[in-house]
Structure 1
Amino acid sequence: MPPSDDSKAAVRWSVSAKLAGLSPERKREASVLACQLLEQQAVWKEAQTIFFYAPLKDEVDLWPLVQDALARGRTVCLPRFDTATQRYVACEVKDLGADLVNGKYGIREPGDRCVLVPLNRLDLILVPGVAFDLRGRRIGRGKGYYDRLLSLAGGLKCGVAFDEQILAEIPTEPHDITVDCILTPTRWIPPKSAPVVE
């Protein structure tokens, strides 16, 4: 049963219901389109140190771009959960086969052999979320891990979502960190003063 208010819990419930209606094939097709659209953007072409995420089944899968970035000699980072600080840290990944382990919540993350990368060295941070609005506000899964990471990160913060996850407006709290731009399979919502490529 859905929550009865306009809280973050209600938004999470509503968006989860929409995503549950998307077939795995539709999600794969949408992810391919999102990858293609991101590749056209100047922020992608210029970024040398890129922070990705390991996608869950209800998130846009940008994994082909991880492989492409590695092949092009870019620095690829993924989040690793630091149990001591209860925060995500950025770690460089050089070999997807050897460097990744199953981490917290079963999410693939860099193993201990991977080197920490200072958050202010990131050029582009690709951020999943449950929902975004057109002003860059984001609702995550409710633990605050990405908000804490984003509050310390340099570089352009890019929300990544299916079109069904973009809402007119979402509720936020003072600690919520906004993103600078948003990528969906059909739209690039750019940072102010950036050219739009569709």
Structure 2
Amino acid sequence: MDNSPSPNHIHKHEKATLRAKVRTEVKKLSQAERQSLSLQLCSLLEQQEIWKQAQSILFYAPLPDEPDIWKLVEDSIATGKTVLLPRFHPEQNQYVACHIKNIPRDLSTGQYGVREPNEFCSTISLNHLDLILVPGVAFDFAGHRLGRGKGFYDQLLEVLHGTTCGVAFDQQILDKVPVEPHDIRLSCILTPTRWQSATPPRPVLK
């Protein structure tokens, strides 16, 4: 009888080890450093042509250990871009993209402690987004992403069209993220110091 660990078990252990390692590195950043690096990251994104042309953008509500892109959310609403945030849909056990126009009115804290659009916010098809900003625990510059292990963004990435951009501190970039056959590569990776194209975006369906 073969008692050796299965490849899947080894893969999960490898991912868990990498998550712990990256989180340790990110925790070394002070709050002031995170704020400064987040502003640097936002500024670099604003210089990219895809940002200038994008009219519909799916953001994320940043957690304390993630780059804070909230300034871009506020600026995009003010300049008339279509701003969307994910909202967890319990019946479907997945996230949907919801349009927000007024932050105090349209947002509340969701079941996972993350700011989410309220139920009255309209949903927009995941096929019609120009740019999707994707958080994660770790990335590599080939466009691979290591998530938090719940798989919600993996579900989104399977059906999203448009440019998918991984957003990270430089401390979250690895030489190579372990991947599985079903993993979806991102179009590009953004850090405070670098914008790296990875794979062509899936065309937006108008």
TM-score by length of 2: 0.89
The equivalent position to 2:21 in structure 1, one of 2, 14, 32, is: 14
Tell me which structure has the larger Cα radius of gyration: 2
What is the match of residue 63 of structure 2? 56
> Secondary structure of the equivalent of 1:81?
strand
> Secondary structure of the equivalent of 1:104?
coil
Identity of aligned residues (%): 53
Deviation at 1:174, TM superposition (A): 2.1
> Secondary structure of the equivalent of 1:50?
strand
Letter of the 1:88 partner, please give it. Y
Deviation at 1:43, TM superposition (A): 0.5
What is the match of residue 162 of structure 1? 169
1:95-149 Cα deviation digits (max 9, x unpaired): 0111001002100000011000000011000000000011100000000000101
Rounded Cα–Cα distance in structure 2 between residues aligned with 1:16 and 1:90? 27
Q: Give ranges in structure 1 of 5+ residues lacking alignment.
A: 194-198
> Secondary structure of the equivalent of 1:98?
helix
The equivalent position to 2:194 in structure 1, one of 163, 179, 187, is: 187
The equivalent position to 2:129 in structure 1, one of 103, 114, 122, is: 122
What is the match of residue 87 of structure 2? 80
User: Which range is displaced more, 87-96 or 5-14?
Assistant: 5-14
What is the match of residue 77 of structure 2? 70
TM-score by length of 1: 0.93
Rounded Cα–Cα distance in structure 2 between residues aligned with 1:104 and 1:180? 30
The equivalent position to 2:97 in structure 1, one of 68, 73, 90, is: 90
Distance 1:192 1:79, change over 3 A: closer
The equivalent position to 1:104 in structure 2, one of 111, 117, 126, is: 111
Letter of the 1:21 partner, please give it. K
Q: Give ranges in structure 2 of 5+ residues lacking alignment.
A: 1-9, 201-206
The CA RMSD over aligned residues, in Å, is: 1.6
> Secondary structure of the equivalent of 1:167?
coil
Which 4+ residue blocks in structure 1 deviate beyond 2 angstroms? 190-193
Rounded Cα–Cα distance in structure 1 between residues aligned with 2:87 and 2:187? 23
What is the match of residue 196 of structure 1? none
Letter of the 1:158 partner, please give it. C
Rounded Cα–Cα distance in structure 2 between residues aligned with 1:174 and 1:85? 24
Rounded Cα–Cα distance in structure 1 between residues aligned with 2:147 and 2:198? 20
